């Protein structure tokens, strides 16, 4: 019996830990590409995670970095480029193709390299949920940005258009949650749609929040794995304060074990298939 299995059996009252695919199945496919998200769904992820930035012409695209230099063959800030310019770039060839090919996976070539809009990812979410699978999406707004407030405004407009902003049925989770390192961003979201789950992401824990409190507008804590390793007692303090913990980015087996022992509610990982297998859900 593995330590993960033992920990699960010691916490029978808890729901299974949610496995969230970080930028899609980004260990197998180029991050934030449609292929990475299709692979995550195929692998059985409970939810998908994406970062969003606003282009110069007002489109939300799934790109992590402020600039496109690392993940494309182009240069420049996302906020200074229009969608047509981003669509002309290759967002996948930077990743070793040997890592993206496997005998049981045959991605559509264009889906490995094209920039992904949030609109298209929401279409995939709705299509998957319509097929009977309760897939969820965690959307991270990136800050600071030259488009202060407009990112949230455009995001909420898209959620309304896809009918993803309505309160879920009683007892059912929301299909979408919004995450950010910016408490101000989460406050904007909560003001507009009070029932939408919000996750306050943290690279470190500020002294005023060490007792488990969260900023106004945040409902769920999103500590980085480094915090969890260095201060495992922080998870208990969060739980005592009535908050859930969604931990990022959890890729190593020993980190998965630690998260299980501490009773976190969600694991955000580049390797959803491996984590699900370790949790006995493959």
What residues are labeled active site? 22, 64
Query: Considering all CA atoms of the chain, what is the largest pairwise distance in Å, rounded to the nearest integer?
Result: 54
Q: Which residues on adjacent β-strands are paired with residue 222?
A: 201
Dist. CA 262–CA 130, nearest whole Å: 34
Residues 6+ apart with CB under 8 A from 171: none
Dist. CA 16–CA 279, nearest whole Å: 9
CA neighbor of 80 nearest in space, from 59, 56, 115: 56
> How is residue 176 written in tokens?
């979408």
Task: Annotate 110-156 with DSSP letters as a single string.
Answer: GGGTS--BHHHHHHHHHHHHHTT---EEEEEEP-S-SSTTHHHHHHH
* In the block, residue with structure tokens 């007892």: 171
Residues 6+ apart with CB under 8 A from 144: 182
CB-based contacts of 248-252 (< 8 A; 24+ apart in sequence): 248/22, 248/201, 248/222, 248/223, 248/224, 249/22, 249/224, 249/225, 250/225, 250/275, 251/27
CA neighbor of 63 nearest in space, from 43, 87, 99: 87
SS3 248: strand
């Amino acid at each position: 019996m593995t330590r993960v299995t033992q920990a699960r059996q010691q916490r029978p009252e808890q729901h299974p830990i949610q496995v969230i695919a970080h930028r899609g199945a980004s260990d197998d496919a180029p991050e934030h590409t449609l292929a990475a998200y299709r692979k995550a769904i195929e692998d059985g992820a409970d939810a998908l995670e994406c970062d969003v930035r606003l282009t110069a012409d007002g489109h939300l695209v799934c790109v992590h970095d402020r600039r496109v230099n690392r993940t494309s063959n182009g240069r420049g800030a996302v906020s200074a480029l229009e969608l047509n310019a981003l669509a002309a770039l290759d967002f996948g060839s930077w990743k070793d193709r040997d890592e993206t090919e496997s005998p049981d996976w045959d991605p559509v070539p264009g889906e490995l390299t094209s920039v992904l809009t949030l609109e298209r990812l929401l279409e995939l979410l709705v299509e998957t949920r319509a097929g009977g699978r309760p897939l969820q999406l965690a959307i991270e707004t990136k800050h600071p940005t030259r488009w202060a407030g407009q990112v949230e405004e455009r995001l909420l407009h898209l959620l309304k258009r896809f009918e993803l902003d309505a309160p879920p049925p009683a007892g059912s989770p929301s299909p979408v949650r919004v995450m950010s390192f910016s408490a101000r961003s989460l406050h904007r979201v909560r003001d507009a749609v009070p029932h939408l789950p919000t996750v306050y992401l943290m690279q470190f824990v500020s002294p005023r929040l060490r007792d488990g409190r969260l900023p106004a507008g945040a409902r769920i804590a999103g500590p980085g794995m480094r915090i969890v390793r260095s201060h495992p007692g922080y998870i208990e303090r969060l739980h005592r304060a009535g908050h859930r913990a969604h931990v990022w980015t959890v890729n190593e087996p020993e980190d998965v074990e630690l998260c299980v022992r501490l009773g976190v509610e969600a694991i955000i990982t580049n390797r959803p298939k491996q984590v699900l297998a370790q949790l006995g859900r493959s």
